Structure 1
């Protein structure tokens, strides 16, 4: 087992944000279970090729209310962990920006799937706020185009059919290799390459804790598996970690 620096890495998935009113995707009540056709709205090929898909996608974003969501006790617990002085890095599969809204420094949050709080033109790559694009939809533009070049606007997220940003993935890989504790929270650990991060951490000597309602492929490799609701389990876990590592 390699010597490790006392760094805590926390990987968060959709489960940490469900108490903020943002539904997960793959759980028993997840979006893909309730409406399998919705996956097309976040798949890059159909999105770029079909104006009707984009119109439905904009309506989904408008009606989801994710931009108005507020951090919950799980997000705030990680802020408490960071403010305790323990070295922390958060790797998130979420695109909701709630870790930063809760108070985590942006430099300590690695958004593996991008952010839904910004849009980007697929042609000229200019970036703008999602709020502004949604306001245009509310005002009657069903498929708002880039104001700079007229190109297709898309969220700055990693859509199905796209690769993760190699720089962000490399940074996450380095965190997984450097940490001595890896905590996976609210994630099914089924989507690669992100799902490989806990294994990288374990193979390089880290302890693994999983906090998730459903079983994951890595439960047997974990030193501890917590099935309690995240908004209560994570604050309790954070308090324990602070006590143990003080």
Structure 2
């Protein structure tokens, strides 16, 4: 059970939620930890999840680099193919259902803004999701023959678990026959085709504009400071609204007035808040 300090903050957060007309969920990688997805915090966390890369001294940022699709596609698809299979087999934890329930009963509705590429919100039944870094469940040409984006449904990449390298035939572009890659914004990525994500972001922005006079509450979950895109969006959206609830066991601090810090895991915080409201 939470200690007295989080209990006080939980009560404040519940009060914000009870007064909400609309709900924005801003989610980072920590959202998936309670579903059993690996926590890549720091090199050590990444290497615990993928020991073969530790032996090579390869870090997450080095693997999540589009250059590998040109220079070593078996390495690139070993990493992303494994993640694609992992995300497909993962069942979203109960916290997703709690958030969806809250949003469905609000008069001005709900949106999700996330840097996650795993598709967990869609698997949990959310329809209004803005994926600012793209989705592993969609593909594009690695050679930039066009700006087409297509579904990865039915794609299965064979991987040698000892080396984490792809084996056999690699995904190909239906347009030119060359190599395909996930439609994900990677590090130093100048070839990402972003129009699918931009369409989502445009719809999200339009919803935000329609909320003038509404009491928007932002629930930010599992978004760290290393890549602050989600935290900044949460702070911006909540600045003129009904407040920010930041759920993060490691970096929960909120620096503006109508903010609540919950140093708890996602599922613990959402379960407690649901009980209170």
The normalised TM-score by structure 2 is 0.70
Q: Is the 8 A contact 2:139 2:181 kept in 1?
A: yes
2:227 pairs, out of 185, 191, 202, with: 191
The 5 Å alignment of 1:6-25 reads 6-25=21-40
Question: CA-atom RMSD, angstroms?
Answer: 3.2
Aligned to 2:121: 99
Q: Is the 8 A contact 2:74 2:167 kept in 1?
A: no
1:220 pairs, out of 255, 258, 272, with: 255
Shift of 1:17: 0.6
Structure 2: how far apart are the matches of 1:48 and 1:120?
12
Aligned to 1:57: 76
Q: Is the 8 A contact 1:40 1:47 kept in 2?
A: no
Aligned to 2:104: 83
> 1:28 and 1:10, CA in 2 relative to 1: closer, same or farther beyond 3 A?
farther
> 1:112 and 1:238, CA in 2 relative to 1: closer, same or farther beyond 3 A?
farther
Structure 2: how far apart are the matches of 1:33 and 1:224?
32
Structure 1: how far apart are the matches of 2:95 and 2:263?
14
Q: Is the 8 A contact 2:22 2:106 kept in 1?
A: no
Shift of 1:153: 0.8
SS in 2 for 1:132: coil
SS in 2 for 1:199: helix
> 1:143 and 1:135, CA in 2 relative to 1: closer, same or farther beyond 3 A?
closer
Structure 2: how far apart are the matches of 1:237 and 1:185?
13
Tell me the matched-pair count: 232
Aligned to 2:184: 157
Shift of 1:193: 4.0
CA deviation map 1:138-172 (0-9, x unaligned): 99435332243122211122212248655544555
Aligned to 2:62: 40
Aligned to 2:163: none
Structure 2: how far apart are the matches of 1:28 and 1:41?
12
Q: Is the 8 A contact 1:26 1:32 kept in 2?
A: no
The normalised TM-score by structure 1 is 0.78
1:116 equivalent to 2:151? Answer no
Structure 2: how far apart are the matches of 1:171 and 1:189?
26
Structure 1: how far apart are the matches of 2:94 and 2:76?
29
SS in 2 for 1:206: coil
From the CA coordinates, give the structure whose radius of gyration is larger.
Answer: 2
CA deviation map 1:205-241 (0-9, x unaligned): 430110111115x52326211122211211332454x
